[in-house]
A and B are shown apart, each in its own frame.
Chain A
Amino acid sequence: MSLAPTIASEASTDGVILALTGDWTLRAGAGLEQQAAALMAAADGVRRATLDISAIESLDTAGAWLIDRSRQSMSAAGVEAALTGVRAEHATLLRAAHYRPVDAPPHRHGPSATALLADVGESVYVSGVDLIAGIDLLGRLVAVFARAAITPMRWRLTALAFHLESFSLRSAPIIVMINFFVGAIVAQQGISQLARYGAGAYTVDLVGILILREMGLLLTSIMVAGRTGSAMTAEIGAMNMREEIDALKVMALDPVEVLILPRAAALVLSMPILTFLGDIAALFGAGLVMWYIGGVTPEAFFTRLQQPYSLERFEVGLIKAPFMALIIGIIAATEGFTVSGSAESLGAKVTSSVVKSIFMVIVVDGIFALYFAAVDF
């Protein structure tokens, strides 16, 4: 349907006449550029070149641009170049799409040692800025919480209930399942390793301490960071992109109070509940495995579990939960507020929210471990 662009070259008294035919449009693709290059080659070294475009089938901006570019390049090379046979509709197009030199795009430098150092420096600086932003948000959250504590009217109960449902009820199944499996796996490993020393019965202690003190909480926190923290960052980030946060501000509403307080409160309330469920599920999984593989009856399992210190272990695990929730909430909100206009930045911020949350949860868990060791709890 479309005709390829072609050139017929004919020598004249003092130069060359180039008759252009066919479709000089983008549909010709690479052929269009090849023909433009052929134009230049045909006019190389002659004194006068006449471009006859009267027989062109169709022309678009790309064709007009290339024809005009060729004409101007010829002039620059010392060839007297002229266009003839320009139809009225082509004249308009040629005028609109006349060639003007375009600056070459700035050359991008490849990675260099300085750029690498600059990147490292920047990320160190940015993590400092992030820390300050997190502390700032924590401060504002505490202030908003204090105000809300005095005037209970400020609590957005509907929002709180909604977030409680989505953070705790809706994530309970997956957290229960994950903890159940990990509890079972740990028990199985414990039996098979400790049985070699004839200490299979101590698996109950191993499982009890590991799950109640550390693992139930860590697994739950990681799941919550991945599931709830990411959603929170995405929600707040999208609201930020669409100026919804600004809309709140100009209504004299505090975004921290309206958006963050209900979410953070729901998270702080959900986390101990989820950790508790996770603990129970993991113990249940461990108990089952020990019963089937280790031959430890449920009665023996529970008796052994109820040692003098087991309640303390359970409390140590649970008391950390609200702190983890607060860390996840603060990081998710801080990242959400820094989302800029692009879809790419939303993705980057959600990723960094999850990564930072998980990292901080593990770091803080380590700090707690040091603390509890120091106070001998």
Chain B
Amino acid sequence: MTAASLSRPPHPAWEVEIRVRGLEVGFGEKLVMKGLDLDIHRGEVLGFVGASGAGKSVLTRAILGLLHRRAGSIEVKGRDLDAMTEAERGRVERRWGVLFQQGALFSSLTVKQNIQAPMREHLDISPRLREELAMLKLALVGLPPDAADKFPSELSGGMIKRAALARALALDPEVLFLDEPTSGLDPIGAGDFDDLIGTLQETLGLTVFMVTHDLDSLYAICDRVAVLGQGRVIAIGPISELLGSSDPWIKSYFHGKRGSGREAAARSGVAAASPR
């Protein structure tokens, strides 16, 4: 089944899934996010780029509630996270799947146990179904069944990413946060991973928020790309719009040595090599 054969489900006029307003995050004296605004639309793949150290991971962690916000609000489906009770917040977080950069698999559990961990904690389902669903997620992310009983330390980098993605999908999330999903993968592996995320996004109707430096990923699967700079989103839109930007950083990012080949490919329509 190739992704190209799938028709994209129609988006109900880009409803906003997560709305970030006036976000300020800082460490000590240093302010990393200076009043950042961002909308993540339901059903889109939003790519997020920015110079190293610009705070891409900080933004992800702030949205996930792992970092303290100094100011600003985060709304999920129109509801302010701060106004929610603990239980409501828990329900929201259960609809989120996160793929950390290093995988963050529990090192003392096998891959299968890792996938089952959130199910075991949050779902009231039989051991048989839990077993079956874990193996299904494993198959969805393209891991062989014999990987199920391996420990994270026995996996290669690419397999760790896939296993971590399977765990992120364990509760059938609506929103998927990916922190540099293709970093450390070879180009073929990264391309496969892009296809995988694209396919899963279309199959499961996911909203994907993806921090990445991989230009191929941006061209291949992102509906929109947001650029982070000086603690704000300095540009957001489809990649074709960003290519015309006059901002020097965006220019050198997309038109630099590494970006120009893809740009040419995208213009001449060879981008059809990508899943969409």
Partners in one complex: yes
- Residues from chain A with Cβ under 8 Å of B169 in the complex: 61
B123-131, B247-255, B258-266 - interface stretch: B123-131
Kindly supply a per-residue 1/0 record for chain A positions 19-52, scoring 1 wherever the CB is within 8 Å of any chain B CB and 0 otherwise: 0000001100110110000000000000000000
Flag if B171 contacts A102 (CB, 8 Å). no
Flag if A93 contacts B204 (CB, 8 Å). yes
Interface residues of B in 203-232 (CB under 8 A from A): 203-205
- Of A60, A104, A342, A345, which one neighbours B172 at CB under 8 angstroms? A60
Kindly supply a per-residue 1/0 record for chain A positions 113-136, scoring 1 wherever the CB is within 8 Å of any chain B CB and 0 otherwise: 000000000000000000000000
- Of B107, B126, B132, B204, which one neighbours A102 at CB under 8 angstroms? B132
User: A160 within 8 Å of B by Cβ?
Assistant: no
Interface residues of B in 131-151 (CB under 8 A from A): 131-133, 135-137, 139-140, 145, 151
Complex Cα distance, B133 from A104, in Å, reads: 12
- Residues from chain A with Cβ under 8 Å of B67 in the complex: none
Chain B nearest CB from A263 CB (Å) reads 25
- Of B9, B151, B172, B203, which one neighbours A26 at CB under 8 angstroms? B172
Chain A nearest CB from B14 CB (Å) reads 17
Residue ID in chain A nearest B202 by CB atoms: A92
Flag if B204 contacts A61 (CB, 8 Å). yes
Chain B nearest CB from A35 CB (Å) reads 12
- Residues from chain A with Cβ under 8 Å of B139 in the complex: 100
- Residues from chain B with Cβ under 8 Å of A341 in the complex: 107, 151-154
- Residues from chain B with Cβ under 8 Å of A105 in the complex: 131
A contacts with B: majority SS: helix
- Tell whether A30 pairs with B124 under 8 Å between CB atoms, given A61-B133, A66-B129, A102-B132: yes
User: A89 within 8 Å of B by Cβ?
Assistant: yes
Complex Cα distance, B152 from A129, in Å, reads: 26
User: B234 within 8 Å of A by Cβ?
Assistant: no
Chain A nearest CB from B161 CB (Å) reads 16
- Tell whether A65 pairs with B133 under 8 Å between CB atoms, given A29-B124, A341-B151, A341-B153: yes
Flag if B107 contacts A343 (CB, 8 Å). yes
User: B52 within 8 Å of A by Cβ?
Assistant: no
- Tally A-B pairs: CB < 8 A: 74
Kindly supply a per-residue 1/0 record for chain B positions 99-139, scoring 1 wherever the CB is within 8 Å of any chain A CB and 0 otherwise: 00000001110000000000000011110010111011101
Contact residue range for chain A? 20 to 34
Flag if A97 contacts B136 (CB, 8 Å). yes
Complex Cα distance, B149 from A70, in Å, reads: 27
- Tell whether A61 pairs with B136 under 8 Å between CB atoms, given A33-B129, A102-B131: yes
- Tell whether A60 pairs with B204 under 8 Å between CB atoms, given A89-B9, A344-B107: yes
User: B13 within 8 Å of A by Cβ?
Assistant: no
User: B66 within 8 Å of A by Cβ?
Assistant: no
Flag if B131 contacts A61 (CB, 8 Å). no
User: B1 within 8 Å of A by Cβ?
Assistant: yes
Chain B nearest CB from A52 CB (Å) reads 21
Flag if A92 contacts B125 (CB, 8 Å). no
Chain A nearest CB from B132 CB (Å) reads 5
Chain B nearest CB from A216 CB (Å) reads 40
- Residues from chain B with Cβ under 8 Å of A186 in the complex: none
User: A319 within 8 Å of B by Cβ?
Assistant: no
Flag if A26 contacts B132 (CB, 8 Å). no
The 5 closest A-B pairs by CB, nearest first: A341-B153, A344-B108, A342-B107, A60-B172, A29-B124
Give B residues with C-beta under 8 Å from A.
Answer: 1, 6-7, 9, 106-108, 123-126, 129, 131-133, 135-137, 139-140, 145, 151-154, 169, 171-172, 199, 202-205
Give A residues with C-beta under 8 Å from B.
Answer: 25-26, 29-30, 32-33, 60-62, 65-66, 69, 88-89, 92-93, 95-97, 100, 102-105, 340-345
Task: Using A33-B129, A62-B172 as known contacts, list a sample of 5 further A-B pairs with CB atoms less than 8 Å apart, ordered by residue number in A.
Answer: A26-B125, A61-B133, A66-B129, A100-B139, A104-B131
